Amino acid sequence: MRSNLGGSVIMAANTYDAIVIGSGMSGGWAAKELTEKGMQTLVLEAGRSMVPEVDYVEHVPTWGVKFRGLRDRKAELVNRPIQSQIGDEWNAKFFVDDLENPYTTDPDKPYLFLRGRHVGGRSVMWGRQTYRWSDLDFEANLKEGLGVDWPIRYKDIEPWYNYVEDFIGVSGQTEGLPQLPDSKFLPPMEMNCAELAVKEAIAGKFPDGRMMTIGRVAILTESHRGRAACHYCGPCQRGCITRSYFSSINSTLPAAQATGKMTLRPYSVVHSLIFDAKTRKITGVRIIDAQTHETTEFHARIVFLCASTLESARILLNSATREFPNGLANSSGELGHNLMDHIFKGGASGTIPGHEDHMQMGNRPNGIYVPRFRNIKEKHPAFLRGYGFQGGGRREGWERGSDTPGFGADFKHSLQSPGPWKFTFTGFGECLPNHDNHLELDKTKVDAWGVPALKINHKWRDNELAIYKDMSVTAAEMLEAAGAKDVTISTAQSLPGEGIHEMGSARMGRDPKTSVLNAHNQAHDIKNLFVTDGSCMVSSACVNPSLTYMALTARACDYAVGQMKRGEL
Partner 1 sequence: MERREVLKLLASAAVLPALTPDAFSLLRGMHAAAAETPGLKALNPHQDATVTTIAELIIPQTTTPGAKAAKVNEFIDLILADWYDDATTARFLAGLADVDQRSQKLFGKDFVDSTPAQQNQLLKVLDDEATVARKQQAADEAASRKHALAPLNFFGMMKKLTVLGYYTSQVGFEVELHKSIIPSSHAGCVAISGVA
Q: How far is the CB of 242 from partner 1 (least distance, A)?
A: 10
Strand order in the sheet with 387-395: 213-214, 368-370, 387-395, 421-429, 343-352, 485-489
Q: Torsions phi, psi of 188, nearest 5?
A: -70, 155
| Radius of gyration of the chain from its Cα atoms, rounded to whole angstroms | 24
The CA distance from 410 to 322, in Å, is 76
Q: What is the DSSP string of 440-480?
A: EEEEEEE-TTSPEEEEEE----HHHHHHHHHHHHHHHHHHH
Residues linked to residue 10 through DSSP beta bridges, in sequence order = 3
**Interaction of residue 359 with partner 1, rule CB under 8 A:** yes
Report the candidate in 386, 393, 392 with the shortest Cα–Cα distance to residue 343.
Answer: 386
Backbone angles phi, psi at 339, to 5 degrees: -65, 135
Q: Is 67 in the site for partner 1 (CB under 8 A)?
A: yes
Nearest to 392 by CA among 347, 341, 343, 342: 347
362 binds partner 1 (CB under 8 A): yes
What single-letter DSSP state applies at residue 311?
Answer: H
Binding residue (CB under 8 A) for partner 1 from 130, 360, 472, 522: 360
Amino acid occupying residue 533: D
Based on CB atoms, which residue is closest to partner 1, 66 or 513? Answer: 66
Nearer to partner 1, 28 or 393 (CB): 393
363 binds partner 1 (CB under 8 A): yes
- Name residues contacting partner 1, limited to 213-272 (CB under 8 A): 231-233
Judged by CB under 8 A, does residue 99 bind partner 1?
Answer: no
Q: Is 413 in the site for partner 1 (CB under 8 A)?
A: yes
Given the complex with partner 1, which of 411 and 511 has the nearer CB atom? 411
| Segment interacting with partner 1 (CB under 8 A) among 250-258, 379-387, 408-416, 515-523 | 408-416
What angle, rounded to 10 degrees, do the helices at 462-481 and 193-202 form?
A: 100
Which of 143, 205, 412, 565 contacts partner 1 by CB under 8 A? 412
Q: Are 293 and 519 in contact (CB under 8 A)?
A: no
Q: Is 70 in the site for partner 1 (CB under 8 A)?
A: yes
The closest of 344, 389, 322, 385 to 134, measured between CA atoms, is 385
Euclidean distance between CA atoms 271 and 35, whole angstroms? 24
Q: What minimum distance in Å lies between the beta carbon of 104 and partner 1?
A: 25
At position 5, the amino acid (one-letter code) is: L
Closer CB to partner 1, residue 8 or residue 63?
A: 63
Number of residues that bind partner 1 (CB under 8 A): 47
AA identity, residue 470: D
Q: Site residues for partner 1, window 379-398 (CB under 8 A)?
A: 397-398
Minimum distance from CB of 153 to partner 1 (Å)? Answer: 37
Q: Whose Cβ is closer to partner 1: residue 186's or residue 288's?
A: 186
Instruction: Determine which residue in the list 6, 7, 61, 176 makes contact with partner 1, applying CB under 8 A.
Output: 61
- Of 18-26, 264-272, 337-345, 352-360, the window that binds partner 1 (rule: CB under 8 A) is 352-360
159 binds partner 1 (CB under 8 A): no
Single-letter amino acid, residue 16 = Y
- Shortest CB 259 distance to partner 1, Å: 33
Spatial contact of 28 and 123, defined as CB atoms under 8 Å apart: yes
Q: How far is the CB of 364 from partner 1 (least distance, A)?
A: 7
* Residues ≥6 apart with Cβ < 8 Å to 550: 25, 26, 29, 164, 168
Query: Binding mask 506-535 vs partner 1 (x if CB under 8 A, - otherwise)?
Result: ------------------------------
Task: For the CB of residue 480, give the shortest distance to partner 1 in the complex, in Å.
Answer: 21
470-499: contacts with partner 1 (CB under 8 A): 491
Q: Which stretch binds partner 1 (CB under 8 A): 12-20, 68-76, 150-158, 452-460?
A: 68-76
Spatial CA neighbour of 284 closest among 267, 300, 265: 300
Distances in Å between the Cα of 58 and the Cα atoms of 242, 399, 504 are: 11, 21, 33
Tell which positions 181-200 bind partner 1, by CB under 8 A.
Answer: 189-193, 195-196
We find the least distance from the C-beta atom of residue 285 to partner 1, in angstroms, to be 42
* Residues facing residue 371 across a β-bridge: none
Secondary structure E strands in 490-558: 529-531
203 contributes a contact to partner 1 by CB under 8 A: no
Q: Which stretch binds partner 1 (CB under 8 A): 15-23, 60-68, 173-181, 470-478?
A: 60-68
Residue 5 makes contact with partner 1 by CB under 8 A: no
Instruction: Give the bridge partners for 19, in sequence order.
Output: 42, 303
Residues that bind partner 1 (CB under 8 A): 59, 61-63, 66-70, 73-74, 189-193, 195-196, 231-233, 355, 357-364, 397-399, 401-403, 405-409, 411-413, 415-416, 491
